[in-house]
Amino acid sequence: MNSQNYKNHARFSPVYHFFAIPLSLIVLIGTIVNVVKSSEQNFYSATLLVMVALLLILAMLFARTFALKAQDRAIRAEENLRHFVLSGKPLDSNLTTRQIIGLRFASDEEFPDLAKRAVADKLSEKEIKKLVKNWRGDYYRI
């Protein structure tokens, strides 16, 4: 696998991002068209199909969101432990989860100082990533 850097670290799951999401949106649009064109006898079943399509999209979005939240918690714990090992202190409680997610790409040498700077300068996740000199890849998160 190629080494990661700021420009190539974003990852996609092709089946989810480029197939399942567009297909579910097409199904939703199709069911809405079906409702608009349905006769009075078919209106109830056509409306149910719209609700099923909406539930499908919600289920997909919630599954993705819940998985990302679990990953965020794991990253927060891992980076707190890494900071403690490197500096003898836990991460500053003023760091947001988004900042910590940005800090995970910093090498051990720059991590403690960059964490202090992130709090002091209220850096965003994107700004933190751009300041990382020695990129530490994360090949698991999608």
Two structure tokens written together for 69: 């939240």
Strand stretches in 4-63, DSSP E? none
Residue 13: band (very low, low, confident or very high) from pLDDT cuts 50, 70, 90:
confident
Q: Where are the domains of the chain?
A: 14-131
pLDDT digits (tens, 9 = 90+) for 105-124: 999 999 999 999 999 999 99
Average pLDDT, the chain: 92
Does this model's pTM top 0.85?
no
3-state secondary structure of 92: coil
φ, ψ of residue 132 to 5 degrees: the values are -65, 125
59-110 pLDDT, tens digit per residue, is 999 999 999 999 999 999 999 999 999 999 999 999 999 999 999 999 999 9
How far from 24 is each of 36, 37, 59, CA to CA, in Å?
19, 20, 11
- pLDDT band, residue 127 (cuts 50/70/90): very high
Residue 64, pLDDT score? 92
Residues above pLDDT 70, as percent of the chain: 96
